[in-house]
Structure 1
Amino acid sequence: MRSNGDIEQLYREHGYLVLRRARQVLGDEQEARDVLQELFTSLLHRPGQYQGRSQAITFLYSATTHLCLNRLRNGRTRLKLVEEVMAPRLSEVELPRAERLAEARSLLSRLPEELREVAVYYYFDEMTHEEIAGVMDCSRRHVGNLLERVREQVLRLGGASGKERS
């Protein structure tokens, strides 16, 4: 980014995508609008964040996801997300719904940030390994390794019944 005009243009062209992504991850209109404002304010103050190594939309998607994950980690919204979206998709063991939600809530909060991020992309967004690699700026192999670590940690940390679904 070279100027405020470039950032304004980026906002006009892609702001709605940032807002849609934030709504999707956070499930809350006001929180999503806060993320939109935070992202573009940050770019105005530190335009060098976007270094042009990827397409602008890829950068915005990744930056939005990171901001949302930070909010989830630090706030009440994480619990709402787990209950409504993540629990049914992250659960790899057969448990009644209430227990599954509590288990997923606990597991998500205990995963390291990098694993939590890849879990959101894979289970929540249903992205392919290649798509995740593009957003995380890493190889597909690394994505596969991260997802394997997610599965291992879910099974290790979960400890519920240990039975895999068929």
Structure 2
Amino acid sequence: MGGIHSSLAAWAVSSRGPLRMEERELIRRAQGGDLPAFEQLVRGWRDQVFRIARQIVGDEEGAKDVAQMVFIRLWQGLGRYREGGSFAAYLHRITVNLAIDFHRQQARRHPTDSWDPVALDQIPSRPQDPNASLAPGEVQRVFRVLSARLTPRQRAVFVLREIEEVSTEDVAEILGMRQSTVRNHVLEARRILREGLARLFPEYARGQEGREK
């Protein structure tokens, strides 16, 4: 399982841009109603917001809807952000809450007790070489299928802690839970993903076990 989540984390890190030095000034200006400043903030954060939303929601179109709602909510409530606090944590909290709400709404409309057979067909064939690695796009598809068995909270914790590499302390603050609860969610998510990997993609699971020994 380490191979899947480490590959996802590496992809997330490579997708991040450097923190803009003028971000604090942009926030102050946006709080005063400066739309161009807000648009620049959006450009700096939209990729990460979309990425987190997609991992929690599970599909690209839904993630686009969530990302749009996130920035609408941010614009409407930016006055509540207090300078000195973590803007990343503030934005992550909005993103995660809206993504979880969206995921739950979709689950109520389309309940399922098993992995989506259409999604299963998207899992790439495993090469014969057990030491071969999945391409980044394949890792994403495998994770989307396997994470369908996680609860929205487990998925949010796993995405923030294991993929986005947010600290346990910050994840606890973002999601309003104890740090021990964060750690428990991570452990349970790893177990579920590992079992799903062994069931749905045994060739890849065996390759991971060989590398972890």
Cα distance, 1:18–1:101 mapped onto 2, change above 3 Å:
closer
Supply the distance in 2 between the matched residues of 1:132 and 1:14 (Cα, whole angstroms).
25
Structure 1 runs not aligned, ≥5 long? 1-7, 75-92
> Does structure 1 residue 35 correspond to structure 2 residue 69?
yes
Structure showing greater Rg: 2
CA contact (8 A) 2:160 2:166 kept: yes
> Does structure 1 residue 9 correspond to structure 2 residue 31?
yes
Alignment of 1:86-125 (within 5 A): 96-97=133-134, 100-125=139-164
Structure 2 runs not aligned, ≥5 long? 1-29, 52-59, 107-129
| Deviations, residues 61-110 of structure 1 (Å, cap 9, x unaligned) | 30123334666786xxxxxxxxxxxxxxxxxx977526644432211222
Q: TM-score, normalised by structure 1?
A: 0.56
Identity %: 20
Supply the distance in 2 between the matched residues of 1:118 and 1:139 (Cα, whole angstroms).
12
CA shift for structure 1 position 25: 3.6
**Number of the residue aligned with 1:77:** none
> Does structure 1 residue 26 correspond to structure 2 residue 67?
no
Q: RMSD between aligned alpha carbons?
A: 4.2
- Between the two structures, name the one with larger relative contact order (CA 8 Å, sep ≥ 6): 2
**Number of the residue aligned with 1:65:** 96
| Deviations, residues 89-137 of structure 1 (Å, cap 9, x unaligned) | xxxx977526644432211222110011011101221112112112112
User: What is the aligned counterpart of 2:180 among 141, 157, 160?
Assistant: 141
CA shift for structure 1 position 24: 1.1
Mean Cα deviation higher: 126-135 or 15-24: 15-24
CA contact (8 A) 1:119 1:150 kept: yes
> Does structure 1 residue 126 correspond to structure 2 residue 165?
yes
Q: TM-score, normalised by structure 2?
A: 0.46
Structure 1 letter corresponding to 2:134: R
**Corresponding residue SS for 1:97:** coil
**Corresponding residue SS for 2:165:** coil
| Deviations, residues 45-72 of structure 1 (Å, cap 9, x unaligned) | xx9xx7x9xx584444301233346667
Number of residue pairs aligned between Structure 1 and Structure 2: 135
**Number of the residue aligned with 2:6:** none
**Corresponding residue SS for 2:47:** helix
Alignment of 1:46-61 (within 5 A): 57=87, 58-61=89-92
